[in-house]
Chains A and B, each alone.
Chain A
Amino acid sequence: MENLQIRLRQNAGILTAIGIFVLFYVFYNFNHPRGFAPAIFIQNSNEVFTLAMVAMAQTMAVLLGGLDLSVGAIMTLVNCLASYLLVGSPLQIILGFIVCMAAGAACGFLNGCIVVYGRIQPIIATLATGAIFIGIALFLRPSPGGNVDDDLSWVMTNDLYEIAATYGFFDDGEAAWFQPIAWFPVPLLLIILIAVLVWVPFSRSVTGRTVYAIGSGEGAAYMSGLAINRAKIAAFTLGGFFAGLGGIYLTLQTSSGNADIPQAGAYTLNSIAAVVIGGTSLLGGIGSAIGSIFGALILRTISFNFRIFEIDPLMQPLFEGVVLLAAVSLGAIRVLRVKNTLDLFR
């Protein structure tokens, strides 16, 4: 019982995020003329995937106590690269996926090396590498365009039934046992798989625990004999990998690559907002990438709600801004609880 209480307190941020998301999303579906339908579900999860990945990428740097201003740029770079590679024979496409994921991870690895061996603050190092990545993306795609396998982009942005029907699994998706899960959106399944197969093992490994330890106190982590350099590089590399996955999905969604600098900036800024809303502390050491997924879900659900209430499009940016400001201001509640003013300065 006491154990449960401790766990609840430790995960207060992420639980709040989940609660807000469920509230917003149920509200949205109640008010949508075709709410609670698989079609809405698929469309929404398509729109959320890329931001969720970029937010997970941002989480890695934030857990270390830093900030990664290059996540949007890595996403854009991989987006441009993938717009060349995700086409051709199945083998070529698989190879393309591997190259794109490796490219994202390599960008993150470069960030990590500059932060660790160059000893430059993450925020400013990634500001610079972000410019470099955008530059390379512009080399790859001076103007928007690209060529992506049609079947692939169709099934990846649809439900499980379409995968089976398109590639001829399970009697073209008509097998009786398959029906209960056939409606499930592919992007949502991918988010869950990535969280469970990549993030959870990482956060429970020694390297993952070291990332949390560095965020809580780098000196203490060092004195405890933890391999801080390795953990930092691993965290940034994983961040680059997540951002790269976001870029790949963006390519599948739009069937093109676009080295759009404002878009990259918008994703970076939204990722920071998603991380904070997801209960991760900007000071480092507290939070999780799963919280950031819910942060991204909340941000997107807010815009979904705008759509159905037909709020004047000109007022939407204002509403979004006010909601964002209000969400981050919730963190100020902590100040009210502080009894010793000196406790404020951490």
Chain B
Amino acid sequence: MTSISDQAGNKTKPWLSPDDKPIVIAGGFVLVILAVGTAYTLITQGTAPLLSPTYLLQQLQIGAFLGIVAAGMMLVILLGHIDLSVPWTIAAAAMMATAVGGPMAIPVGLAIGLAVGFVNGVGVAYLRIPSMIFTLGVNAVMRGLMVAHTGGFAPQTAATDLMEFLAGGRILGIPVAILVWASVSIGAIVLLTRTTIGKAIYAIGNREAAAYLAGIRTRWVIIAAFCLCGLCAGLAGTLLAGYSTKAYQGMGDAYLLPAIAAVVIGGTNILGGRGRYVGTLVGVILIVLLNSVLSIMQMPEAGRQVIYGTVIIAMLLVYGRGHRVVN
């Protein structure tokens, strides 16, 4: 986790490269959360359930959905864009997957995600509309389509067995959702570090004009990144429908801001161009554990929101600060 990355350029070699510092600090904070939570349960109940493998696996299983969304979101943020259409992409994928049912359920869910991502990509890359507002509009359209489709109620259709297995099943005691998340993660790491399109994503995030002049087909890279983000949201939606056995209105709302927060806490620059996937992984785990420990402490929603915001600001104050404007 602390190895010097190739992307950082190996210039002067401080004890931690700028790209690794967020990952180490966020990782340390994950341990702090676990320690505080364990101390709390030891004092109040005399047991330490937080350190049991069952608990940790369960948390990772819950985190898998957020993790998959965050993986796609990271690709888009690395470009210097953002995808605000995630909430209703998740819900649309879940609703259509359960509505179709049968063996085609999962392909349909993924196709919905891909299609939304493609529309986003075209709007941003070809029409040059700021992603912030275009994806917001697409989100509104998807919401409208789903309300018209379902009549504003939770659809009665149920998830297929395969969806339920992927989201809630276990292989050798390991939740399948974690395995899905792991495959997505490996895909993201390979994409970002070993392929030309990965390098192109970083290049566009740093300076799009330079990337264009260097011969990168920037428009196609942007469309591809948005497609992958939509695909991840579609996958997360399909899995979520499997996890709760059905789709419902607003099921994706709780995933947008935490996904952005996880990516940023992991050290990815919100303006694009730099950040490592491992950071996003640590960011997701941090957010999931923080939520879980706060609910073990029976913290009311109000306190949770305050702590959540404070943690994001505190983490960014430590390592996410921009440069002073000097010229």
Q: Given B134, B212, B305, B310, which contacts A138 in the complex, CB threshold below 8 Å?
A: B305
A272–B135 CA distance with the chains assembled, in angstroms: 12
Q: List the B side residues contacting A127 at CB < 8 Å.
A: 257, 260-261, 312
Q: List the B side residues contacting A218 at CB < 8 Å.
A: 325
Q: List the A side residues contacting B257 at CB < 8 Å.
A: 127, 131
Q: With A119-B324, A272-B133, A329-B123 in contact, is A318–B145 under 8 Å at CB?
A: yes
Q: Given A119, A139, A344, which contacts B128 in the complex, CB threshold below 8 Å?
A: A344
Segment at the interface with B among A29-37, A84-92, A164-172, A331-339: A331-339
Segment at the interface with B among A185-193, A242-250, A319-327: A319-327
- Asked whether, in the complex, the Cβ of B305 is within 8 Å of the Cβ of A135, the reply is yes
Q: List the A side residues contacting B309 at CB < 8 Å.
A: 128-132, 135
Q: List the B side residues contacting A341 at CB < 8 Å.
A: 212
**Chain A residue nearest in CB terms to B305:** A135
- Least Cβ–Cβ distance between A63 and chain B, in angstroms: 15
Q: With A131-B306, A332-B127 in contact, is A324–B137 under 8 Å at CB?
A: yes
Of the candidates B82, B261, B309, the one having the most CB atoms from chain A within 10 angstroms of its own CB is: B309
- Asked whether, in the complex, the Cβ of B136 is within 8 Å of the Cβ of A269, the reply is yes
A135–B309 CA distance with the chains assembled, in angstroms: 9
- Asked whether, in the complex, the Cβ of A131 is within 8 Å of the Cβ of B305, the reply is yes
- Check B321 for interface membership: any CB of A closer than 8 A: yes
- Least Cβ–Cβ distance between B157 and chain A, in angstroms: 18
Q: List the B side residues contacting A259 at CB < 8 Å.
A: 302
- Asked whether, in the complex, the Cβ of A320 is within 8 Å of the Cβ of B140, the reply is yes
Number of interface residues of A (CB under 8 A): 59
A321–B145 CA distance with the chains assembled, in angstroms: 9
A121–B77 CA distance with the chains assembled, in angstroms: 13
Q: Would you call the interface of chain B mostly helix, strand, loop, or mixed?
A: helix
- Asked whether, in the complex, the Cβ of B141 is within 8 Å of the Cβ of A321, the reply is yes
In chain A, positions 244-296 with a C-beta closer than 8 Å to chain B are: 259, 262, 265, 269, 272-273, 276, 282-283
Q: List the B side residues contacting A60 at CB < 8 Å.
A: none
Q: List the B side residues contacting A67 at CB < 8 Å.
A: 132
Could you jot down 30 A-B contacts, CB within 8 Å? A118-B321, A119-B324, A124-B320, A125-B313, A128-B261, A128-B312, A129-B309, A129-B313, A132-B310, A135-B305, A135-B307, A139-B302, A139-B303, A218-B325, A222-B325, A222-B327, A262-B253, A272-B132, A276-B133, A282-B132, A282-B133, A315-B148, A317-B140, A318-B141, A321-B139, A321-B142, A321-B143, A322-B144, A324-B140, A332-B129
A residues lining the B interface (CB < 8 Å): 67, 114, 118-121, 123-125, 127-132, 134-139, 142, 218-219, 222-223, 228, 259, 262, 265, 269, 272-273, 276, 282-283, 313-322, 324-325, 327-329, 331-332, 334-335, 341-342, 344-345
Other 17 A-B pairs with CB < 8 A, given A265-B253, A332-B127, A345-B209: A120-B320, A121-B322, A124-B261, A132-B306, A135-B306, A222-B325, A262-B253, A269-B84, A272-B133, A273-B136, A276-B133, A317-B143, A321-B137, A325-B137, A329-B134, A331-B130, A344-B128
Q: Which 6 pairs of residues, A with B, have the shortest CB-CB distance?
A: A318-B144, A135-B305, A321-B140, A131-B309, A138-B302, A135-B306
B residues lining the A interface (CB < 8 Å): 82, 84, 123, 126-130, 132-134, 136-145, 147-148, 151-152, 208-209, 212-213, 250, 253, 257, 260-261, 264, 270-271, 300-310, 312-313, 316-317, 320-327
